[in-house]
Amino acid sequence: MADQQDINYPDVLGLVTKDTRHTIGPVQMALTTRPQAVKAGKPFEVILLIQNTIDAPVDVTLTLQLPDKDANGQKGRFLHGTDRLVVGLAAAEVGYALLPMSTLPDTAPSDKYTIGLDIAVKAIEKGDQVRRGNGSAFDPKSLPKDQRKHIAELANLTFSAKKRGFLRGNALETTVNIQPGKVGSPLQLKAGWHSLWTMETDSDTDLLLARYREVMQHRVVPALTRKGLFKPLHDKVTATFSKAGYPLMDIEAVCITKLMVLILEYAQSSRNAQAILEAGIYDIDAHLSGTSFDSGGERQYPHWFDKMLRALAHDERIAKVPVKGLVHFAFFELMYDAMMHGFALVGKSSGEDLGTPEEMQAYAENALAAIKDKQSLDFSTVYMPLVLGGVLAYDRVMMKDETLSEGLNELKYLLDDRAEERNESTEMIFVLAKRVIDQSLKKYGSLDNRL
- 280-315: pLDDT as tens digits: 889 998 888 866 555 445 678 999 999 999 999 889
φ, ψ (nearest 5 deg) of residue 94: -130, 140
Write down the domain spans for the chain: 4-197, 205-449
Q: What average pLDDT does the chain have?
A: 89
**pLDDT at residue number 275:** 61
CA atoms of 51 and 96, how far apart (whole Å):
9
Cα 253 from Cα 251, distance rounded (Å): 5
pLDDT in tens, 362-386: 999 999 999 998 878 999 999 999 9
Q: Determine which of 12-26, 62-76, 316-330, 401-415 has the lowest per-residue pLDDT on average.
A: 401-415
Q: What's the pLDDT score for residue 3? A: 46
The topology (CATH level 3) of 4-197 is Immunoglobulin-like (2.60.40)
Tell me what the mean pLDDT of segment 202-226 comes to: 90
- Maximum pairwise Cα distance, the chain: 101
pLDDT of residue 206: 85
Q: Do β-strands 94-103 and 162-163 pair in parallel, antiparallel, or remain unpaired?
A: unpaired
Per-residue pLDDT, 101: 92
Of all residues in the chain, the percent with pLDDT exceeding 90 is 66
In angstroms, rounded to a whole number, what is the distance separating the alpha carbons of residues 246 and 248? 6
Q: In this model, does residue 200 exceed pLDDT 60?
A: yes
Average the pLDDT over each of 153-157, 424-428, 438-442 and give the range with the smallest value.
Answer: 438-442
Per-residue pLDDT, averaged over 249-276, amounts to 87
CB under 8 A, 24+ apart: contacts of 151-156: 151/12, 151/15, 151/16, 151/196, 154/16, 154/47, 154/49, 154/96, 155/15, 155/16
- Over residues 177-202, the mean pLDDT reads 82
- Residue 45 parent element (H or E): strand 44-52
The predicted structure's pLDDT at residue 414: 85
Residue 419, judged by CB atoms within 10 A of its CB (0-12, 13-18, 19+), counts as exposed
**Rounded to the nearest 5 degrees, what angle is found at the Cα of 159, between the Cα atoms of 158 and 160?**
130
> What is the three-class DSSP state of 169?
coil
Alpha-carbon distance values, 88 to 38, 272, 411 (Å): 30, 44, 56
Residue 186 burial class via C-beta count within 10 angstroms: exposed 0-12, middle 13-18, buried 19 and up: exposed
DSSP per-residue letters across 238-263: HHHHHHTT-PPPHHHHHHHHHHHHHH
pLDDT at 5: 52
- The predicted pLDDT at position 176 comes to 96
**Taking a C-beta distance cutoff of 8 angstroms, is the pair 107, 137 a contact?**
no
Residues facing 54 on adjacent strands: 129
Residue 123, pLDDT > 60, answer yes
Quickly state the pLDDT bin for 444 (edges 50, 70, 90): confident
CA distances (Å), origin 449, targets 253, 335, 402, 441: 24, 33, 20, 9
Per-residue pLDDT, 186: 58
Q: Give me the sign of the Cα torsion angle 320, 324, 328, 334.
A: positive
Instruction: Note the pTM of the prediction, 2 decimals.
Output: 0.79
What's the CA gap between 244 and 237, in Å, rounded? 11
Strand, coil or helix: what is 391? helix
> 4: pLDDT confidence band, cut at 50, 70 and 90?
very low
pLDDT at 450 > cutoff 50:
no
Q: How many CB atoms lie within 10 A of CB 131?
A: 24
Q: Is the pLDDT reported for residue 196 higher than 70?
A: yes
Residue 159 has pLDDT above 70, yes or no: yes
What pLDDT does residue 70 have?
96
What's the pLDDT at 1? 37
